Structure 1
């Protein structure tokens, strides 16, 4: 992927930004080039400090791989084809930030699992675990795992949205901890730091909602805290109980009882015979 910054304005850009994000200076466009679909993401400066910090954090994450050929052994398999543009020029859009991120379009991974065989479900879970394990092995915590952050591109699972990504064991500003209550591990509600195990917990919630076909519900932040810290009980349909051991290890309320790494979760799943 190699677009010229001057050519971006020639594309038929379609704005897809959510209204709230737009007011915070975020712009997300889709466009087509040579029958391929792409996304362009940028952020205006001096509008919202949190949004700007997240965008710059994501750019820095991608930038470390930007000068490496996509066929390189050092290029992570979990990344979509991408391009970082340092200075974006768009006529009539002076408020847009100077930098932009372009990603190839990809399809959502977690569609309805109804109709899938147990082996197909197991394969999907393993592929997702492997992707997160790759990220962790490279020394990073995603720190914002959500169902929509997993996509399918050319027969491989990819991760997107690295705005909250952080190095493992890096100092964290707990006063500005950013997390989505739906996926927050119990310890995050007690102002503890994000770790490998908070990624594992968030992934467990993603798996649980996908397998049950139901979204967890809570009215407010306190209700989410009560759900994750006390009320959450794993209840699976009878034909999916084979995956309960995996979910129990990923969603243990106490960190001491939760899987310590993704490798352990993969081993748990690999030992389950779903024939």
Structure 2
């Protein structure tokens, strides 16, 4: 790897480096069937991820991967993005530089990072609030740069060098722009009620997804549904906020994030932040 001063979020591997890498395949079986591949590797005692996509595979996966590459390309040109993006690099492999990376494929490399959200049972209320603030501020920075994540999940919050970062931007889209990609591009577990009715994603759908993440984290239980229709019923009709007694101070926060009607939900992430700050904890 070339060694010289660079922005925090820019990795600088050379093509020749890839021939020396010992890649370990870490892809879920379902993703492999759609041409998606994730690899882990170590370089100079640092851990990294490498992500590729077969361009002739399922169009949904190909479109998502290309969208994520475009997101990172735009982020790399902005000096104030490192606070929410992992160090990254996009590499076009014009030739087969590694047995696992065919010629013509593009690879996305990311520094490895630890999960940001872990079991909260041993945390104090103050520690929970601090973690929530980190998550909210990460999403706020994304929105302030004019982007919606579009597919927030617990595993998309990571910690790198004591900084909360976001990952997996396959469904990211510019604010106030209708995406070219149509169809279901969100995970039903985290979908706001209006998405089940065909509405477009907005800042408020990100807020709802974040609310589900927080709710499951605080209760230590995952919401359950058998199929897409059951998820729709759950989010649109049945979901009720029931927190443990020692965490009831977060009920107002979750009520504002998980309101079924958009007009009753927090209108932007700043309102979420302000509510958390004023909670009596």
TM-score over 0.5 for the pair: yes
CA contact (8 A) 1:185 1:202 kept: yes
Aligned to 2:188: 181
Judge conservation of contact 2:151–2:187 (CA < 8 Å) in 1. Answer: yes
* Structure 2 match to 1:81: 87
Deviation track 1:226-261 (CA, whole Å, cap 9, x = no partner) reads: 000000000000100000000000000000000000
Equivalent position to 2:97, from 59, 75, 90? 90
**Aligned pairs (5 A) from 1:205-216:** 205-216=212-223
Structure 1 residues 66, 250: closer, same or farther in 2, change over 3 A?
same
CA–CA distance in structure 2, aligned partners of residues 125 and 96 of structure 1: 43
Distance 2:39 2:99 in 1: 15
Match of 1:240 among 247, 259, 264: 247
Do the aligned partners of residues 25 and 174 (structure 1) sit closer, same or farther apart at CA in structure 2, a change above 3 Å counting? closer
Tell me the equivalent position of 1:156: 163
Q: Which runs of 5+ in 1 are unaligned?
A: none
Matched, 1:29 2:39: yes
CA distance in 2, matches of 1:41, 1:119: 37
Q: 1:64 offset after TM fit, Å?
A: 1.6
Q: 1:151/1:44 Cα in 2 relative to 1: closer, same or farther (>3 Å)?
A: same
Equivalent of 2:71, from 43, 54, 61? Answer: 61
Q: Indicate how the Cα distance of structure 1 residues 200 and 97 shifts in structure 2: closer, same or farther if over 3 A, else same.
A: farther
Q: Is the 8 A contact 2:48 2:112 kept in 1?
A: yes
TM-aligned CA deviation for residue 7 of structure 1: 1.8
Q: Deviations over 1:94-142 (max 9, x none)?
A: 6575211110100011110011111100010011000000000000000
1:13 equivalent to 2:23? Answer yes
Does structure 1 retain, via aligned residues, the 8 Å contact 2:92–2:104? Answer: no
Query: Which residue of 141, 145, 151 maps to 1:144?
Result: 151
Shift of 1:160: 0.2
- Give the TM-score normalised by the residue count of structure 1: 0.94
Give, in angstroms, the shift of residue 6 of structure 1. Answer: 2.7
Which is further off, 84-93 or 138-147?
84-93
Change beyond 3 A, Cα 1:60–1:225? same
Task: Name the CA shift for 1:9/1:83 in 2 (closer, same or farther; >3 Å).
Answer: same
